[in-house]
Every structure is written in C-alpha cells, then in structure tokens.
Amino acid sequence: MKMCFFHLMPYGYLPEDFSNQYHSVWVDAPNHLFDPKKGTQLYNDYLDELEFAEEMGFDGLCVNEHHYNAYGLMPSPNLMASAMTRRTSKAAIIVLGNSLALYNPPVRVAEEFAMLDVLSGGRFVAGFPLGTSQDTVFGYGEVPVTLREKYNEAHDLVIKAWTEREPFAFNGKYTQLRYVNIWPRPYQEPHPPVWVPGSGSLETWDWTIEHDYVYCYLSYSGYKVGKTVLDGFWEEVDRQGKEFNPYHAGFLQLVAVSETDSQVDEYKDYIEYFFKKCLHVPGGFANAPGYRTLRSINSGVSTQIVESRREQATDFNWMDYVKAGNVIVGSPESVREELAQAIRELRVGNLMLLLHFGDMPKDITLKNTELFAKEVMPYVRDIWSEYETRWWPKTMMDA
C-alpha cells in the first residue's frame, strides 16, 4: 500500500450559523468571512502537519487546487508543494492537481510541474483533474460542454512539452503557440507519474485506462458508496482487457483514531464542521448543465453520488457519517480492521488519508496522524504486496 497524507487546508473559522445564513461555501461565500491573520496561522500549521506526516513515515504528501471557497485555501497548490520540497526529503510530493483547462497557455502547468520535479529531485507526482463545476464553470467561467475537450488538448500539450527535446509549434483548437520549449524539463524520464482525480464520470475511467494513469476517486461519501464507483472502474479495466493492478487506482478516506473506542466523540465537532460547512454546496453549483456527459448521467453512478451527498448533508449527524463509512473512527484496532476491509473491497493500492478535516486544531491533527502512523499503518501496509506499481516516482523506487 502507498499511504498518502492528504490535506485540503480548509478555513476553520466559519460562523456557527454558516450553513443557514450563506448560500454556499464555494463560489459566492463572501470573502469578508476570511481573516488574513488567522489565515497566516492556518497555512503555517497546515504545512507543519504535512511535514510531520513525512516524519511519521507516510509515502506521499498530497495537496490540490480549488478556487473561490473556504473548503480548501489552495488556489495554487504548487506554492504549497514548493514549500514542502525544501522541508522534506523522503515523501513523494503529490499535487492532485492542476486543472489543466483553466491555464492559458497550459504550458504553464508543464513548466511549474517540471520545476517541482527538479526541485524535489524526482519525488513529484503530477495530478491532472478536470476540475469541479464550482471551480471551472462558476469560478473561472469555462464553458461546461467544451471543458473536457479543452482539458484533453491541454493534456496533450503538457505531455509533449515534457517529452520533446527540441522546440516545436503547437496548433490546437484552444491553444496556438509558435514555440514550445520549456526550461527546465522534468527530472523524471519521460515525465512524472500522472494521477487523475475523478468523481465518477465514465469518461474519466476510459481516459485514465487508455493513458495508463492512476484513477483517484476523491469521495467524501465514504467507502461504502465509493465501492460502486470503483467496481465500475475495475469492470471497465477488465472490459478493455487490461491487467488488474490495485495501484492503478486510489481512494480518499477520512480517518480519526482515538486511544479507545469510547473516546471517538472527541472528533464529532470536526466531523460535523466538515460535512455541514465545508461541503455546503448547492446542487446547481456542483453540477452545471453540460458539465457531466449524457453517458455519465445515464449510467446512474453520478445520480447515486449526488443523492447520497444531498441526504448526508441535510439529514446526517456525526454518528450517521461514521455508520455510513464517510469517516472511519475508533481505536487503532477498530480503525485498522475497518480500513483493511475498505481497502480490499475497493481494491485500491493508493490510499489518501484525510486526517485533518473541518476546524480540527493542530494538536488533534498531530495526535491523529501519529496514532494512525504507529498503530494502524503498519497493519495495512502489506496489503497488495504481491503487486508492483509503475505509477510512483522511479527515483524513489530505485533508492
């Protein structure tokens, strides 16, 4: 198993009545709610937590890109990744990722990711998300029906920019460049491993399988709902005649570890803050018309995910989230038993652990991280040890 510490960097000071008083945590939450002085402390605490995760033996450190929101304060995850490269030396730096269609020209992603790969000495993993409806359509004004086409073209340009050793011209539908000639080029040959975050779109399954990338299902609905999505992905892998390898997929799971099962309510306020406030997004923002293809809609997978999230956002309390598998909570023994079950049911070799969520303070995050690393991680790390991954920085596998 590859164990990756995932951080959203949320804003932890939303008002008590936020969900009732404000339309959404994304797109139109007024930024007068943000206190820059508190933000300074949060950013530094969050970087401390990521660096501590490397000390605790996590394989990778994950950050990602979002815009106009209090859910995750990283419009530029590359800035956070660059800060981490100077303070870490053993963990992979995983940016999940840069939303390719938002960059004009997309070679900006090729350049900055190459810089991070070189700066880290080849410890970098590149994430290429399509981007949420909130970020891409409502935040940055992209046309939803052409978003995926623009994304695909941007991807092709980035890969060619990484692998060509002479200047070339690029004449696409959305980007035309007389000269493409990035400096620096990536440290890894031919380029860093690529992971693709997804939310259940069938086209993303097809695309990651075709390009032999890692499909990362970033779900907050929990592993019980997530199994439907991963089962669909593995069925598509089999249908295309590809060999099963659990490292071809990843999954994000919230986990909270206490010393005993009787202490788990110490996390209840942070769980409810995360699901009630950080995920307070109306369906109209999350699914702009044209954002999901007709094929994905007709499959029923997206509908199931949306409906489960709507129910969870309105009707659940913190114990409901625990029972539904949104959060795996308990003593080390209880957590490792349920987590091992989730890993085997999902058949994933890359696990992204959200050990900080909501308004969780730094000391609780460090405690959660240490308990997980020392009392849970060793017991699940050898799952899938019979498989090898080709989606990890080669420099780290050769070390």
Nearest CA among 200, 201, 258, 260 for reference residue 227: 200
Nearest CA among 189, 30, 194 for reference residue 109: 194
Domains of the chain with CATH codes: 2-398 (3.20.20.30)
pTM of the shown model: 0.95
- What span, in angstroms and rounded, lies between the C-alpha atoms of 43 and 91? 20
The token pair that represents 378 in the structure block? 């060793």
Q: How many CB atoms lie within 10 A of CB 397?
A: 10
> Torsion-angle region of residue 95: left (phi > 0), alpha (psi -120 to 50) or beta?
beta
In Å, what is the CA distance from 29 to each residue of 15, 26, 284? 12, 6, 15
pLDDT in tens, 170-227: 999 999 999 999 999 999 999 999 999 988 778 889 999 999 999 999 989 889 999 9
Per-residue model confidence (pLDDT) at position 300:
61
- What span, in angstroms and rounded, lies between the C-alpha atoms of 66 and 35? 18
Question: Who wins on pLDDT, 307 or 6?
Answer: 6
Residue 21 and residue 280 in contact, taking contact as beta carbons nearer than 8 Å:
no
Residue 119 phi/psi, 5-degree rounding, is -60, -35
In the predicted structure, residue 326 carries a pLDDT above the cut 90:
yes
Per-residue model confidence (pLDDT) at position 306:
54
292 — pLDDT class (breaks 50, 70, 90): confident
Looking at the chain, the whole-number percentage of residues with pLDDT higher than 70 is: 95
Half-sphere exposure of 202 (CA within 13 A, CB side): 14
Per-residue model confidence (pLDDT) at position 207:
92
pLDDT in tens, 34-81: 999 999 999 999 999 999 999 999 999 999 999 999 999 999 999 999
Residue 115 and residue 184 in contact, taking contact as beta carbons nearer than 8 Å:
yes
Radius of gyration of the chain (CA): 20
Average pLDDT, the chain: 94
- What span, in angstroms and rounded, lies between the C-alpha atoms of 42 and 362? 9
Per-residue model confidence (pLDDT) at position 321:
95
pLDDT in tens, 95-128: 999 999 999 999 999 999 999 999 999 999 999 9
pLDDT in tens, 112-171: 999 999 999 999 999 999 999 999 999 999 999 999 999 999 999 999 999 999 999 999
